[in-house]
Structure 1
């Protein structure tokens, strides 16, 4: 596995991006290497954007930061997204994420500590329960309400 790289910016808004090499899981085992990018911004404080890339193909997905936080400790999610911890006999802790419906989905895993540390950075940028404070409701509503 490559060493994870986290980039954090504070201007003009707060963002952090994690770049990491991970694996697609097949039959419960790591199979295909993937480049993973996790992106978080205070402009969209409830969401984490995921990008997966391999050999010219890519997929992008958005999911709840809260679901990722809860998935560190227990199975979280229904429908097209599920997140759960996996403890290996070698003592390593992994986090698996399933994207897509059960019949046609991608499951990938990464070290639990890597994503936990990155989520800590997101919580420093936008603490839990303050997400709504970062939404620009006035900027969104002003043009709508000024229509005479």
Structure 2
């Protein structure tokens, strides 16, 4: 895999982006290499945006940061999204993410340590259990309450 690149900004708001490679894991077929981008911002502190790209085609999802953190250690998720670790005898490990229903899904795997290190950066930007402190509640509620 290529070397991961992490970009972090603190102004005007806290963001971090990880650019790396991931693999689309197909049953019985060779893995397909994809460009991966994970983005986190204090403006949306509960979510991680995932972007995948290959040959000009791209797809984007939003996942819970909490689900990714839990998925580093154990299977997390039901329904159309699941995250879990895959441990190997040599000590290296993968993080797998399943998107879509079981019968028609895509499973991606990426280096667990790379994702864990990047999630640690998100926790330094917005510590767990302080996410609500970063939401602009007044900005959200003002248009709803300002009805003429």
Q: Same fold (TM over 0.5)?
A: yes
TM-score (normalizing by structure 2): 0.95
- Partner of residue 119, structure 2: 119
For structure 1, list consecutive stretches of 5 or more residues without a partner in the other structure. none
**How well do the aligned residues superpose, as a CA RMSD in angstroms?**
1.4
Alpha-carbon distance in 1 for matches of 2:28, 2:85: 13
For structure 2, list consecutive stretches of 5 or more residues without a partner in the other structure. none
Deviations 1:34-93 (A, max 9, x none): 100000000000000000111121110001000000000000001111000001233211
- Partner of residue 54, structure 1: 54
Partner of 1:133: helix, strand, or coil? Answer: helix
- Partner of residue 143, structure 1: 143
TM-score (normalizing by structure 1): 0.95
- Partner of residue 63, structure 1: 63
Partner of 1:103: helix, strand, or coil? Answer: helix
Alpha-carbon distance in 2 for matches of 1:108, 1:51: 12
Contact 1:23 1:30 in 2 (8 A): no
Partner of 2:31: helix, strand, or coil? Answer: strand
Q: CA deviation at 1:29?
A: 7.5
Q: CA deviation at 1:22?
A: 1.5
Q: CA deviation at 1:145?
A: 2.3
Alpha-carbon distance in 1 for matches of 2:44, 2:27: 35
Alpha-carbon distance in 2 for matches of 1:57, 1:85: 27
Alpha-carbon distance in 2 for matches of 1:143, 1:88: 52
- Partner of residue 45, structure 1: 45
Count of aligned pairs = 148
Change beyond 3 A, Cα 1:39–1:30: farther
Alpha-carbon distance in 1 for matches of 2:70, 2:28: 21
Partner of 2:102: helix, strand, or coil? Answer: coil
Hey, which bits of structure 1, 4+ residues long, moved more than 4 A?
A: none
